[in-house]
């Protein structure tokens, strides 16, 4: 069965570049930004975003951490690095925002601190939200049926595409 690609490698690169500029514009006065990628694909996107942000503005301190959780049962959440998140901007990153559930659980560990703000980023956002999570930075918003699924392909740190199935 042929895959119905909604994003190719070049389009992904352009969308991530645009999002990087949006992040800088929305956080002009910030000194610290923490990129928290949800493993695995969200982490790859976060590493890409870190490179893009550094190339745009080298004056911002950027940390990159991984969030590990089981998306089917997301109660056990682990962060790859312990740092003080107080008064920092945190951007939680995933490849696809479906119902909002994974993003909601991924935000939870940061609530024990007093971050300056928490923002969210998804390369692809579906319009079937069940949980009250807004995606601040979106590469592509797609209206799908509940039976369709979106898959993002990653090769190392390179996002090679996204398709609908």
Q: Give the pLDDT score at 47.
A: 97
**What tokens were used for 36?**
């928290």
Q: State the DSSP string of the chain.
A: ---EEEEEHHHHHHHHHHHHHHHHHHTTT-SEEEEEEETTHHHHHHHHHHHHHHHH-TTSEEEEEEEE--SSSTT--EESS----TT-EEEEEEEEESSSHHHHHHHGGGGGS--SEEEEEEEEEES---SS---SEEEEEE---TT--EEEEEETTEEEEEEE-
Q: Give the pLDDT score at 130.
A: 81
Entry pTM: 0.94
Q: Note the Cα 23 to chain centre separation in Å.
A: 12
| Boundaries of every domain in the chain | 4-164
Local confidence pLDDT in tens for the 165 residues of the chain? 678 999 999 999 999 999 999 999 999 999 999 999 999 999 999 999 999 999 998 899 999 999 999 877 877 888 997 788 999 999 999 999 988 889 999 999 999 999 999 999 999 998 877 888 899 999 999 988 878 889 999 999 899 999 998
Q: Give the pLDDT score at 1.
A: 60
**What tokens were used for 134?**
């807004």
Options 3.40.50.2020, 3.40.50.10490, 2.60.40.420, 3.30.930.10; CATH for 4-164 is 3.40.50.2020
């Amino acid at each position: 069965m042929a895959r119905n690609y909604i994003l190719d490698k070049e389009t992904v690169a352009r969308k991530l570049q645009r999002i990087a500029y949006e992040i800088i514009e929305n956080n002009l006065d910030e000194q610290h930004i923490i990129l928290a990628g949800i493993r695995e694909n969200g982490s790859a996107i976060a590493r890409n975003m870190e490179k893009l942000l550094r190339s745009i503005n080298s004056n911002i301190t950027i940390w990159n951490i991984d969030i590990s959780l089981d998306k089917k049962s997301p109660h056990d959440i682990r962060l790859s690095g312990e740092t003080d998140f107080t008064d920092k901007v945190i951007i939680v990153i995933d490849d696809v925002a479906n119902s909002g559930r994974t993003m909601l659980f991924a935000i939870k560990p940061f609530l024990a601190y007093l971050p300056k703000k928490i923002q969210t980023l998804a390369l692809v956002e579906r319009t079937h939200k069940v949980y009250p999570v807004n995606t601040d930075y979106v590469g592509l918003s797609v209206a799908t049926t509940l039976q369709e699924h979106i898959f993002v392909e990653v090769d190392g740190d390179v996002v090679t595409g996204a398709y609908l199935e």
